[in-house]
Amino acid sequence: MKMKTKLVLSSLFLLVFLGGCAEKDRLEDGSKLIDKDTFVFAASGEFKPFSYVENDMTLTGFDVEVGRAVAKELGLEPVAKRIKFKGIVEGVKTGRADAAVASHTINPQRSKHVAFSTPYYYSGPQIFVRPDSKIKTVDDLKGKEVAVAKGSTYASTAEKYTGNIKMYDSDITALKALSGGRHDAVITDFVTGKTAAKEGFKIEGRQLIERSEQAIVLPQDNPQLLKRVNEALENLRQDGTLSKISKEYFGQDITTKPE
């Protein structure tokens, strides 16, 4: 029995010790951060031009620059962390990152698990097909094979129109497969599709399906941080920083609500 007690005690010790590491730093105003001096935000790095890496693996893109601007506004050191898109919500929930600036569309399913800031850009999914395709609108998608990125809201968008859905790790891989002759269509953000077409993918945009609002993802148990991020976003909107970053990447301002 002595051996058993030892075992139980040592595992308890391990749990408490490691559990201590999981505790976030608490700031004076009640907001919690992994480290009190940094703002660790997640991005996928596989969603050009919103989030991608340079050839030396430094993270950049619209999302990442917005994240950096927000961090500066908060008076914190920005730390961009790359997590595969489908793991980001879980990552924010479990404290792998303080927040995510990763083009997350606000939707009820995600809202059950995480909190959203105010939208930092407005966009919408579009149908992409090969140039010779007859598909024009969502009605033509019935029974067709549609590819989307795992964990994106486009999967549920696609489900409304067809039962035949293929999942990919990233939107770019899905578009690449489409361009290479697989599947009938891909549903993805119109900016992403447009960029891929510019890069030489043999694809064409068809119907713009709906409007969506993209926001910063935060843990639900951190209302004070949410409040501060919203204040920071509002300041960046007012002083034109958001619009400036948008024009830099898209040549247009996608950060104001369209009519």
Residues that bind another protein (CB under 8 A): 15, 18-19, 21-22, 45-46, 48, 52-53, 55-57, 81-84, 87, 90-91, 94-96, 169-170, 172-173, 176, 196, 199-201
**Up-side HSE of residue 196: CA atoms within 13 Å toward CB?**
31
Nearer to another protein, 38 or 207 (CB): 38
Nearer to another protein, 38 or 243 (CB): 38
229 in Cβ contact with 211 (< 8 Å): no
Going by the DSSP 8-state scheme, the letter that residue 97 receives in this structure is S
Nearer to another protein, 12 or 208 (CB): 12
Name residue 125's amino acid.
P
248 C-beta neighbours (distance < 10 Å), count? 11
Minimum separation from the CB atom of position 18 to another protein (A): 4
Query: 159-163 long-range CB contacts below 8 Å, 24 or more apart?
Result: none
CA 187 – CA 205 distance, rounded (Å): 10
Minimum separation from the CB atom of position 99 to another protein (A): 15
Minimum separation from the CB atom of position 44 to another protein (A): 9
Nearer to another protein, 39 or 161 (CB): 39
Residue 40: its H or E element:
strand 38-43
Minimum separation from the CB atom of position 24 to another protein (A): 10
Minimum separation from the CB atom of position 59 to another protein (A): 10
| Burial class (CB within 10 angstroms; exposed 0-12, middle 13-18, buried 19+) of 64 | buried
Nearer to another protein, 82 or 194 (CB): 82
Token reading at 121: 């850009």
